[in-house]
Structures are given as C-alpha cells and as structure tokens.
Amino acid sequence: MRLEPIANPTTQRTVGFPAIALISTVILTSLLAMIAGASPFSVLGLILKGAFGSKFAALETLNRATPLIFTGLAVAVAFRAKLWNIGAEAQLYVGAVVTVVLGTGALHWNSAALIPAIALAAMLAGALVLLLPTFLKTRFGVDEVVTTLLLNFVVLLWVSMLLEGPLKDPLAMGWPKSAKLVSEARLPRIVDGLRLHWGFGLALISAGMIWMIQTRTTLGYEMRAVGQNKEAARFAGIPVNIVLIKTALLSGGLAALAGFSEVAGLKGSLTLDLSPGFGYTGIIVAMLALLNPLAVVVAALFVAGIFVGADSMSRAVGVPTYLADIMLATALLMMVLAIMLTRFRVRWD
Amino acid sequence: MEILDILLSASFWAAAIRIASPLIFAALGELICERAGVLNLGIEGIMVVGAFAGWMTVFVGGGLWMGVGVAMGAGMLFGLLHGTLTVPFGLSQHVVGLGITLLATSLTYFCYRLALPEVTSPPKIEAFQPLAIPILSDIPVLGEALFNQTSLTYLAFALVVVVSLVLYRTPLGLALRAVGENPSAAAAQGLSVSAIRIGAVMVGSGFMAVGGAFLTMSAFNSFFFEMVNGRGWICIALVVFGSWKPGKTLIGAILFAAFDALQIRVQQTPIGADVPYQIFLMMPYLLSILALVIMSRRAEVPAALMVPFNKGER
Amino acid sequence: MNKARVVLRLDNITKAFGSLVANDAISFQLREGEVIALLGENGAGKTTLMNILFGHYTADSGEVEVFGDRLPAGNPRATLSAGVGMVHQHFTLADNMTVLENIVLGTLPLWKLGFGRAKAKSRILQLVDDYGLNVDPDARVGDLSVGERQRVEILKALYRNARILILDEPTAVLTPQETDDLFATMRKALALGLSVIFISHKLHEVTAISDRVVVLRHGKLVAEAITKETDRHMLAEMMVGEEVTPPKVQTQLVGEALLELKSVTTPDQGSAPGLKAVELQVCSGQIIGLAGVSGNGQSALADLVGGLIRPAQGTLMINGSDTTTWSPRAAVRSGIARIPEDRHKTGTISDFDLTENAILELYAQSPYSRKGWMKWGVARAFTAKIIQTYDVRCPGPETRIRLLSGGNMQKLILGRVLETEPVIVLANQPVRGLDIGALTYVHEQLLAARNRGAAVILISEDLDEIVALSDVIHVISEGRLSPGFERGSKTTAELGVWMAGHGFDESSAHAA
C-alpha cells in the first residue's frame, strides 16, 4: 500500500471523505446506544434536543462552548507551529487561580480596570506555565508532549493544595473551594436576563484576532513556516526558537483565558472540578476545526452541544454520558483519516 | 534518620517492586513501539482498557491468567487501530495516540457504567496472591523484597529479559530495530516495514494493557475511575530515561517506584506532617520531567521515531 | 560474449505516474558475466526502471525474467531471492546497528532464535577477502566512511548470493581513487560469473567499465550499443538527444575581494567534519569552484557563508568588514544569495504556495511587511515577476510548491535570491537532480551573475561541472581547503589526488 499525493483534489473528495467520517461516527454511536439498550434514533434525537432544543439548552451549550473556544484556540495556535501543547488543562487552572487571587478583594478597583487587569495577569501566568516546557524543548530537546502532560498533574495537585490551604474559603465548611469573586471582578452578562456572560464575547473576539494574526501578520507567517518545515524556516532566517516562544506565550495565554472566563463569568469561585477536561477536549476542537481559528468556534459549539446534549440524554434514558466522549474520540480519529484521504490517494501496489 | 530506616526495610523495597511492576510492563510496551519507530501516546488509555478488561474477566468468573490474556488481547486491538492509522496511513502519531487514549478511556468507562450502573464502592475480586519462592524468599531483606511477590511481578521481570534477548539476539529484534532506525534499510532487504511496525505496536500495546491489568489484579483488586492516573505518561518518560534499552528502563522504573514508595512513607513521619501531601504526590511527575531533561543529551533516539514510511518515496 | 546465457530479461516495461510516462515499453537483456551501463540524464527513468525490477514499484505492463523465471510484480523479497542485489544511490543502512547486523538483516526467518553471529561473521570475512571489500563486520555503521558504507551495501547483496548486481550511481559519492577500487571489485565479481547493471551519467566511467550501453531518454530506450563501438561524444549525444555544448566562459578581470575566510575553523557536525583553518578569498566577477567528495566539510562552508553557523576561530569578512553578528538574516542583508543543497528540505516549504515561498527570506523587510503586518499584494507582485523573468512553469502564484517539478522549484529559488541583485552567490549543488534544460539554465544564471560582478561560490560533487564553470578551483577534504588552482592548471586526475586527501600542507592543518 502506498500513498500518492493528489495535485488538485476534487470537491467530491474534499467534502465526501469528511462527510463519511461524520456519518460513520454517528453509526458507531448508534450501535453503542443500541448495546446500552436504547433506540439509536431516540438517543441521537435527545442529544440534539438537549443541546439546541430550547433557549435554556442553547444558552447552556454556548456557555459550555466558551472555555472550549479558548482551549481550542490555544491548541490550534500551538499545533500550527508544531508546538505540541497538551497542557491547556494546566494553563486553564493557573489562569483560574490568578483570577481568584486578584478577584477576591486583593484589588479595590472598579470593573473597567479590574477585569482587564485580571485577564491580562491570567494570560501572563498561563503563558509562563507553557514557557517552561517550550524552553526545555528549545534548549534541551525534551519532547513537550510528555512534559506538558506531566505538568497537568502537577498543576492540578498544586491547585488542590491551594484550595486546602491559602485559597480556602473559611466559610466553605471544609470543602476545598475558594472564596467568591467580588462583584467588580465578575464578567457581566451580554444581555440582561440571559444566562450568557461576556466570556463568550471575549472568546469570539479572540478567535477573530487569532485569525488576523495567522493570516495577516509576520508572526502568523513565521508560525506557519516553523510548523510546516522547521529546517527551511531556520535556513531562511526565521528565528525558530523565538517564534516557538512567542507561540507558547500566545497559546498558554489563550488557555488561561478559559480558566479566567469560567471563574469570572460562570462559577464565581474556584473548585477542583472547574474543568471536566476542557484542556484535553480543546485538542479535539482544534483538530476538528483543522486548526483554523474561525472554525474553532463552530467546532467548539458542536463539541459543547454533544456534551450538553449527552448529559440530558443520559438523564432521560440512562445511557452513560461517556457516549459523548466516545463520539468525539471517534470523530477525531475518523476526521484526521478523512482529511488525509482528501489529499492522498491510496494505491495498492 | 527515619528515612534511612525506611530505606533499609524489606517492606519498603517490596512495595517499590510492586509499584514498579505495572510500569515495567507498560514501559516495555512503549519501548517496543518506539524502537519500531512509533510513538504510542495511546498508552494511558490502553492501560485503562487493560485494567478494566482483566478485572472484568475475573469478576464475571474467568480465571486470573485468562484475565491477563483478555487484557492483552484488548490492548492489542487498540494497538491494531493505532498501528493501522499511523503506519500505512502515516497520520500524526501525536493526534492518533491522544485520540486512542480518549477513545479507550471513554469506551472503558462506558462499559463499566453499563456493567455496573449503580455501584458506590467498586467490587473487589480475588486477585493474584504473593507467591514466596522457596529458599530465595528466605534471604534477609532481599528475599522478602524480590521473591515474595505475585506471579505478575515475576512475569514483568522475566519479560525484561525476554524483550532484551529478542531485541538484540534474534532476527526479529534486528528487523524491529532496523525499521525504527532506517525503514528503507529493512525495505531494501525485503522486509515489510508496515507489517513489522504494526506488529510491534500491537504487541507493545498488549504489554501496556497487562500493565494496566496489574493495577486491578495485583494491586488494588478492583476497578475505579482515574486509577491509571498518568502512569502511562510516566512510562514514556521512563523509556527516554532508559535510552530505549530494556535493562536501563527497568532500573529507571525501580528507581522511580522506590522514590514513590519513599514519599508515601515519609508522609507518615513527622517531617511529612508539616508538608502538604500534594507536594509528595507531585514528586513522581516532577521527577519524570527532571529525568527527561537529564537524559535528553545522552539519549540515542531511534532515528526514524515518528517518521512515517511511504513505500517508493525517497 | 553473446553466447553467454541471458540472466535477466526486461520485456516491455511501462510505468506511468499520472500523465508522466516514466518508462515507455523498455526491453533489454543482461547476459552472464557482462556489465551493462544504463545511461541517462536525471529524470530519464533509470531509477524508476530499477525500482520496478526490484519490486518497489509495480509496472503498468511488461514483465521481468530472472534466470528464465518470471518475477512476481511488486515483491522485493522475490527479487532478492532470485539472486538480484541492488546498491541504492542513497544507502539503506541502519546507523545504530553493526555491519554484520545490517548484512544479516532480512536473510533469516523472523521467528528464529539467535542469528548465528559466528557463522555469519566468518562468511562475511570470506566475502571481504574474495572481493577486496575491506570492512570490519563488528563496526557500527554510523562510524563508517561513505566508501566503507558502500562496501557494506555490496556485501549485503553478495551475502545473499546475488548473481546480478545493480549499482545505482555508485560513484557519485566516491573519489576517483575509490572509484578505481570499486571497479576492481566489480571485475572480481565478473570473473566469478556475476553480471552487473551499472547506472551512471558519467561517460568516462561508462566507457571504462561496461561491455554494453543502454541509453534512456525521457522514459524511452533510445539506443543500445556495444561500448567499444562508441565513444564519449556519441554517448553524450544519445543521452541528451542534441549536441551538448559546454557553456562558454569569457575571461574577465577580477575585482576586489567580497568574501574572505581568514583561518576559519568550525566545529564538526556529527560525522561531518567542520572547517579546519580555512583560508579563502572570493572576488567580484569570479566563480570559485569547491570540489570534493561529499561530506568533507562542504556543508560547514555552506552553513558558514549562509549564516547558519559562526566561525569557532578565525574571521569571516564580507565586503571587507568583519562579521560579528552572523545569522541567515544577516547573510541575506549582506547581499548573499543562497541556493541550498536540498531544495525540498531547506530551500522551500512544500505546503506553502509560490508567493509564500518567494518571500521566505524577505518577508520581514519592507515592502513585504510593515510593522509586523504582511503586505501580501507586494509579495504576489514580486512572485509574479519571478515567475515571468525566470520562466517558472506553474498554474499560478497560489500553487503549492510541492506540485512543481525540481527544475521549476529551483528556478523559483534562483529568482528569489537573484532578483535582489546579490553581490555574493552561494550555490550548493545547484543542479542536482535537474534535467539538462534546467541545468543549462542554472549554469547560465550563475555565469550571468559572475559577469555582472558578483562573487560566486559553486559547491558540487560533479568534478566536470566544477571544471567547466570555475575560474578558480579549491579542493576540500576533511575540512581542509587546498590552494586555489586557476582554470586549466590541473587535470581531473590531479584534482582527484587532492580529493582523496593528498597534498594538503599538514602543518597548516595541525595549526588549527
């Protein structure tokens, strides 16, 4: 078996294979739903209804999509430069910690000053968290996949330590939970009365900005060049390591915004279950979006919809919610295969 | 001086060997994959699958060794998926590996919830029991540490020897090392690079699954969520630490496990009382990162690691 | 000769890649104990044909017979066991394994325990003796020289009892002396009844070693002749299909020194040597040719001038001033045009389009960007100009560069670096893998740059190319640089002696 590049893929190819990937994902999910003793149509229908079927459901999906847009962007930016940041989870929590530290009364500023200050500080902290693995990569050649993964565990333990120690809310009765943010530090709602905060708006703006950076700036050009062919980039005079470090700062900062927006927008305080793996799910979001920042928004909505829908489906018919994760993992694997098949022909010789 | 007492006690070393065992299986599995040129980031999820498959087999009435076999088989299936996607199709080993970890983990949890919808405390199984080896287990300290373990631990150590022998003393090992170093060399000698790589990923994944099964069948005796807890990622670091050599990887696993066993014991001493327990729990991960940094200069990475091979392309 | 039995028969082999017909109904026969030279330009279809014979590709039609038996298609293992051994142009050896391990690889059933090291070793030593292929079976391949590696490749084939040897451009990496040794080995093999297909485009080697010549051009077999009945001129014409005229070089006055290396030493890069106390002066209006077997410090020199490394000792002077800060970007800003050795790996980014590739070195400067914002319109105009001026055949500037042929890719690189009127041109293997049309074009451009006063450094493994173009030739061997030899002052054979490492002033080398 051999792969042969296709010069100009036809539209059937570029649309057909991803479509087949999605359809087979749905078929596999249906099979599992049947094994779990439910009718596949009702399961899929319930997921859809649970995600977008009512105003409440749609808002829930948008809220769930917000951190995923941030982590999806973080991963998309990093992967574009072939910086394998699997540590968005850690960067998210660090952003959340900074939000809590600055937002629970340490600074007596008004909202207009406090919120941007916290966001910037959170970004900076998240960026620093990714800087260490990036430095180890550029300086010692240590694979950042493993270091960022391991740091996720370290940071989570560190957060647990803070929540049982200095950040613990004395009123929380032994529960590991931080104090509540002061109201000046909370992100306002976009529309009064609708449960959707400005974190979502910030996520959309970020996606637009990242798209501008990638297509219109020298940094974006450099990041793509380094990602595609590091050797040629270095030969041409692109400072590869500096580009990687800039990428890390951007990526870590974006992931930290996810933590900031969850705490300041949605939860109001920090607990250890702030993120049900948003950092890891960001990888799926980014890959489904083919690393395109604008498509990240769509992919995040899709992924969030599946999660929110699966929750309500599970409550209704008792099929375990893990079905959502299986569906996404399958979609991810199928999609990378499909994308490859749009660009290469398989020859059996 | 309490630390010294701990270090000299037989029970400490027995615990270290016990902690090392699942890491030895899984790290050997990863080593086989990487020696053939494939980075297998599915390791974390495949360990979860192995842990569940082994435990479930025994739970529904199968024998212990049957459980190990089922775990191995389940791991090999995921290895086949990984190998098919990364070898002939040449997809990103990073993305496929993480995808497989996610798929394997969620499928396992899904099956667990289906099998046991309403359990609060996970049921225990009758697991492997320590098997004292006559005479050898009577040696002071060493005997208790090394020769009073479960059969699975003995198997882990035996496997290190077997993998070394196969790797360096057989045509199969030669072929495996060749496809990881320069696949064209193997292809030019008439060997099928794809077949060898897929085979290696399957066997390696099987070993990872057995490593996971050790957790449920020889350590905790039951299955619960997040029980693998990053052990797979640590094994990837151990392979680098061991310079892709089975013997050195074994030493790395034991050193690592000894440190882990030590931190558990120090937590219970007066020193431990003053330090948050999370600091101790962080140590294994920090230590792994440190090991990667230290070994990065000296390591001899298989030259074709993560390089897909497309026939007819030069 | 013709009475000897046929050992290999190629019958109507046809293979197309898309619209390109790489092999068009090719047939010929190889007889026992003879050498057939397979002659052809790059891209004529030689390598494709051998890959079909060897089972790496499957032919669209036609068949291969070895010793009277038809070979199954697409099965390298069958080809090997039928007694065909191939020495690839790019060695297929695993560096982290020993010579012995590389040789026995794939010769034993995979499921056997042990591989009989002692027996294998004594057999290899026997072969080493019989064929004069001196290598230590226990050495790590990673530690061997290029010549030794080639011997390992030949041993691999002989160890499998190959009766037919296919040597794909074997002399490209050898000094003239090593080539003689290779020919001696070939003659021993022929005396023992083996047959050889020798692939080359070097005419003097073809006439020296082969019995018959088969010439390929554009995928077709255009001529088959007995070597003795032809001469180099005829062969060249058959290969190229037209009268070959070497480029005309007018002598001209040499200007001031634009680039100078003063006792420059650079660190070794793995097995590739760095420069050892190198003195070099390149002047305006001059082509300096750097001859040498590959892997003798050419990369170090190219990296140094290209800005990728700095001198560990000594100084590099550009336009008369010392380079204190030195980087690829500094090199480009100093007016150095760099044509890299590997246009796929270092010269271009294959998934970038032509525009993105054209500005790879210039994107950070005005007018291609301003304050960090790209000016894509300017970039596209620049690319369109290159495409037109340098005759880059492509669907348009938004084509991904990987879809271009090697020649067109090289033209884009030429345009990218020459369009800015550089004062120094560093051309590292600029015509490797190009067809004759593109090759001629590249040479003309290099001469044109020289004629308008640029200083040109030409690095090539092809001694003929160096001799044809250079005003002054330096030979590089193990990082040491010979004195400059004026055009015509040394014969190819004399240069070959230098390439083999003789004649260097030992004292100056040790002073480094």
CB burial of residue A110 (10 Å; 0-12, 13-18, 19+): exposed
Residue C353, helix vs strand vs coil: strand
CB C10 within 8 A of CB C64: yes
Gap from C56 CA to chain B (nearest CA, Å):
6
Taking the C-alpha atoms of residue A259 and residue A257, their distance in angstroms, rounded to an integer, is: 5
CB burial of residue C247 (10 Å; 0-12, 13-18, 19+): exposed
- Is the pLDDT confidence value at A349 over 80? no
Residue B174 with chain C: CB contacts under 8 Å: 97, 101, 104-105, 115
What is the pLDDT confidence band of residue C2, given thresholds at 50, 70 and 90? low
Q: What is the mean pLDDT of chain C?
A: 88
CA contacts within 13 A on the Cβ side of B75: 38
A332 to B95: CB separation less than 8 angstroms, yes or no: yes
Amino acid identity, position C50: M
Nearest CA to A67 out of A256, A216, A238 is that of A256
Residue B186 with chain C: CB contacts under 8 Å: 94, 105-106
B189 to C90: CB separation less than 8 angstroms, yes or no: no
User: By the CB < 8 Å criterion, does B178 face chain C?
Assistant: yes
Nearest CA to A28 out of B140, B46, B110 is that of B110
Predicted local distance difference test score (pLDDT) of residue B86 = 96
**DSSP E strands, C229-335:** 257-265, 278-283, 286-291, 313-318, 321-322
User: By the CB < 8 Å criterion, does C112 face chain B?
Assistant: yes
**Higher-confidence position of A77 and C501:** A77
Tens of pLDDT, residue by residue over B234-272, are 999 999 889 899 999 999 999 999 988 988 888 888 877
Taking the C-alpha atoms of residue C194 and residue C162, their distance in angstroms, rounded to an integer, is: 8
Q: Average pLDDT for residues B219-233, to the nearest whole number?
A: 92
Pair type for strands C472-477 and C286-291: parallel
Tens of pLDDT, residue by residue over A149-171, are 999 999 999 999 999 988 988 88
- Which of A97-111, A219-233, B264-278, C233-247 is the least confident region? C233-247
What is the pLDDT confidence band of residue C507, given thresholds at 50, 70 and 90? very low
The residues facing C217 across adjacent strands are C220
Angstrom CA distances, B281 to A132, A155, B226, B287, C188, stand at: 20, 11, 15, 11, 68
User: By the CB < 8 Å criterion, does A311 face chain B?
Assistant: no
Ramachandran sector of residue A37 (left: φ over 0; alpha: ψ -120 to 50; beta: rest):
left
Residue C57 with chain B: CB contacts under 8 Å: 312
Nearest CA to C151 out of C162, C141, C163, C161 is that of C141
Taking the C-alpha atoms of residue B294 and residue C287, their distance in angstroms, rounded to an integer, is: 48
Nearest chain B residue to A321 by CA: give it: B110
- Is the pLDDT confidence value at A93 over 80? yes
Gap from A143 CA to chain C (nearest CA, Å):
21
Helix (H) or strand (E) holding C63: strand C61-66
Pair type for strands C424-428 and C472-477: unpaired
Predicted local distance difference test score (pLDDT) of residue C403 = 83
User: What is the layout of strands, in order, in the sheet containing C278-283?
Assistant: C278-283, C257-265, C313-318, C321-322
- State the DSSP code for B132: E
Residue C189, helix vs strand vs coil: helix
Predicted local distance difference test score (pLDDT) of residue B54 = 96
Query: Which chains does chain C touch, 3 or more C-beta pairs < 8 A?
Result: A, B
Nearest CA to C485 out of C235, C499, B105 is that of C499
Q: Average pLDDT for residues A78-82, to the nearest whole number?
A: 96
C328 to A218: CB separation less than 8 angstroms, yes or no: no
Interfacial A residues in 115-154 facing B (CB < 8 Å) = 136, 140-143, 145-147, 149-151, 153-154
CB C358 within 8 A of CB C418: no
Taking the C-alpha atoms of residue C31 and residue C225, their distance in angstroms, rounded to an integer, is: 14
Predicted local distance difference test score (pLDDT) of residue C17 = 76
- Beta-carbon pairs below 8 A across chains B and C: 87
Q: Average pLDDT for residues B273-301, to the nearest whole number?
A: 85
Taking the C-alpha atoms of residue A217 and residue C431, their distance in angstroms, rounded to an integer, is: 35
Give phi and psi for C434, each to the nearest 5.
Answer: -95, 155
What is the pLDDT confidence band of residue A24, given thresholds at 50, 70 and 90? very high
Nearest beta carbon to residue C361 from set A220, A231, A237: A237
Residue indicated by tokens 């057989």: B170
Amino acid identity, position C28: F
Indicate the pTM of the whole model.
0.90
Question: Which tokens is B268 given?
Answer: 């219970």
What is the pLDDT confidence band of residue C204, given thresholds at 50, 70 and 90? confident
Nearest chain A residue to C355 by CA: give it: A221
- Is the pLDDT confidence value at C508 over 50? no
Tens of pLDDT, residue by residue over B194-223, are 999 999 999 999 999 999 999 999 999 999
Instruction: List, in sequence order, the alpha helices (H) in C419-486.
Output: 436-451, 463-469
Predicted local distance difference test score (pLDDT) of residue C37 = 93
Task: Measure the CA dihedral C409/C415/C418/C420, to 10°.
Answer: -140
Gap from B163 CA to chain C (nearest CA, Å):
13
- Is the pLDDT confidence value at A68 over 70? yes
Residue indicated by tokens 């207009």: A112
